Amino acid sequence: MKTYKKVLALLLVVVMSIALFGCASNGNEGPASQSQSNGSSVQSGETEQDETPGGNEAADNGQESEMSESMAKIKESGKIIWGTNAAFPPFEIRRGDDVIGVDAEIAAKIAEKLGVELEVVDMDFEGLINALTSKQIDFIGAGFTIKPDREEQVLFTDTYFKAVQTIIIQEGNTEITKAADLEGKTIGVQSGTTGDFTAKEYTDNIVRFDNALEAAIDLKNGRLDAVIVDDLPAQMIVQENEGLVLLDEKAADDEEYALAVRKGATDLQAVINEVLAELKAGGKIEEWVEEYSFLN
For binding to ligand ARG (CB under 6 A), which residues are involved? Answer: 84-85, 87-88, 92, 125, 142-145, 190, 193-194, 230
Q: E strand or H helix at 143, and its extent?
A: none
Distance CA 275, CA 272 (A): 5
Q: Which residue number, 85 or 134, has a Cβ lying nearer to ligand ARG?
A: 85
Q: Which residue number, 124 or 274, has a Cβ lying nearer to ligand ARG?
A: 124
Q: Which residue number, 134 or 190, has a Cβ lying nearer to ligand ARG?
A: 190
Using an 8 Å Cβ cutoff, are 181 and 158 in contact?
no
My answer on whether omega of the bond before 90 falls inside 30° of 0, hence cis, is yes
Q: Which residues, including other chains, have CB under 8 Å from residue 123's CB and lie 6 or more apart?
A: 38, 39, 42, 83, 84, 85, 131
Task: Compute the least distance from the CB of residue 125 to ligand ARG, in Å.
Answer: 4
Q: Which residue number, 74 or 129, has a Cβ lying nearer to ligand ARG?
A: 129
Q: Which residue number, 30 or 143, has a Cβ lying nearer to ligand ARG?
A: 143
Alpha carbon distances (Å) from 37 to 98, 137, 199: 10, 11, 32
Task: Compute the least distance from the CB of residue 179 to ligand ARG, in Å.
Answer: 18
Using an 8 Å Cβ cutoff, are 235 and 295 in contact?
no
Task: Compute the least distance from the CB of residue 291 to ligand ARG, in Å.
Answer: 18
What residue type is 104 in one-letter code?
Answer: A
Task: Compute the least distance from the CB of residue 74 to ligand ARG, in Å.
Answer: 22
Task: Compute the least distance from the CB of residue 108 to ligand ARG, in Å.
Answer: 17
Task: Compute the least distance from the CB of residue 285 to ligand ARG, in Å.
Answer: 15
Picking from 154, 78, 105, 115, the residue whose alpha carbon sits closest to that of residue 290 is 105
Alpha carbon distances (Å) from 83 to 37, 118, 123, 135, 169: 10, 11, 7, 11, 31
Task: Compute the least distance from the CB of residue 104 to ligand ARG, in Å.
Answer: 11
Q: Which residue number, 143 or 188, has a Cβ lying nearer to ligand ARG?
A: 143
Q: Which residues, including other chains, have CB under 8 Å from residue 146's CB and lie 6 or more apart?
A: 156, 159, 255, 256, 257, 258
Residue 59: count other Cβ atoms within 10 Å of its Cβ.
21
Q: Which residue number, 159 or 241, has a Cβ lying nearer to ligand ARG?
A: 159
